[in-house]
């Protein structure tokens, strides 16, 4: 068994032969009071875990759809503290793992130790920080390890093999394989090089490998999931929530994991 609940949950789903599906939603887009309702909805749709984005003023890894959602969420008064307080309300009744995606600056302002403690209290299972390189992660990694929260690393296609190997072996919970060069957003197709890269990471990694960035339909999701353990879908889910098209979200997840 892995040392993190998130890893165990994902491995149990993997053992059934189904691809893993992690939807991303922007916390506070549509109002803070919508967070738990949407988590429950995505759980019922068949999601494996949920990635909860924290809105930030300078989201370097996010494409236009997620940036716009972040602006809307910030206008609603969303803060990291409020999101954790909201998520904590459903801790006892929630079964699906929750992963926070946030940049290092809000965590630094919060205080690493306090952040890790409050995440644990809220029942957060994993953290993704796209803008902290391995060379600078020691303090936040130690704080998360102290609360047994999985620190999920991102692997980029542009990284040399030696670095990919190190990232793959350090990652906890799962390894986030960035499957395009650039920011998040829908893409028409993924290249052959992406598929080789996913196969390579899957061989190197001790934890499940999930492909993220640029996935917008079940066909793409299934295609990529055949080369790793599953997918993360962000912009498409955020867009459909904003349009009130929950039925299409259900279809996207359902068709991918069936």
- Active-site residue, 43 included: no
Burial class (CB in 10 A: 0-12, 13-18, 19+), 44: exposed
Determine which one of 29, 62, 86, 172 is catalytic: 62
Residues with Cβ within 8 Å of 105's Cβ and at least 6 positions away in sequence, in order, are 56, 58
Most distant CA pair in the chain, distance: 44
Q: How far is CA 227 from CA 47, 72, 127, 132, in A?
A: 19, 35, 24, 27
Q: Report which of 232, 255, 233 is spatially closest to residue 45, judged by C-alpha positions.
A: 255
- Residues 185, 63 contacting (CB under 8 angstroms): yes
SS3 state at 29: coil
Tell the residue number behind the tokens 């936040």, with chain if given.
140
Beta bridge partners of 100: 52, 127
In whole angstroms, what is the distance from residue 255 CA to residue 141 CA?
A: 36
Determine which one of 7, 43, 44, 51 is catalytic: 51
- Active-site residue, 62 included: yes
Q: Which residues are catalytic?
A: 51, 62
């Amino acid at each position: 068994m892995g040392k993190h609940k998130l890893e165990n949950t994902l491995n149990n789903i993997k053992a059934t032969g189904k691809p893993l599906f992690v939807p991303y939603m922007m916390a506070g887009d549509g109002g803070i009071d919508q967070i738990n309702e949407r988590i429950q909805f995505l759980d019922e749709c068949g999601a494996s875990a949920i990635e909860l984005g924290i809105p930030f003023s300078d989201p370097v890894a996010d494409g236009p759809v997620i940036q716009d959602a972040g602006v809307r969420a910030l206008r609603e008064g969303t803060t990291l503290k409020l999101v954790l307080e909201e998520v904590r309300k459903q801790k006892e009744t929630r079964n699906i793992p929750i992963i926070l995606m946030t940049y290092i600056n809000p965590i630094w302002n919060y205080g690493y130790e306090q952040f890790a403690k409050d995440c644990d209290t809220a029942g957060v299972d994993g953290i993704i920080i796209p803008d902290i390189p391995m060379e600078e992660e020691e303090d936040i990694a130690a704080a998360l390890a102290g609360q047994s929260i999985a620190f999920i690393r991102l692997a980029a296609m542009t990284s040399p093999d030696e670095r990919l190997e190190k990232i793959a072996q350090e990652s906890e919970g799962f390894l986030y394989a960035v499957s395009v060069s650039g920011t998040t957003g829908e893409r028409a197709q993924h290249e052959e090089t992406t598929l080789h890269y996913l196969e390579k990471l899957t061989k190197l990694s001790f934890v499940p490998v999930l492909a993220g960035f640029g996935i917008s339909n079940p066909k793409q999701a299934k295609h990529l999931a055949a080369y790793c353990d599953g997918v993360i879908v962000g912009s498409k889910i955020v867009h459909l929530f904003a349009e009130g098209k929950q039925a299409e979200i259900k279809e996207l997840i359902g068709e991918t994991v069936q």
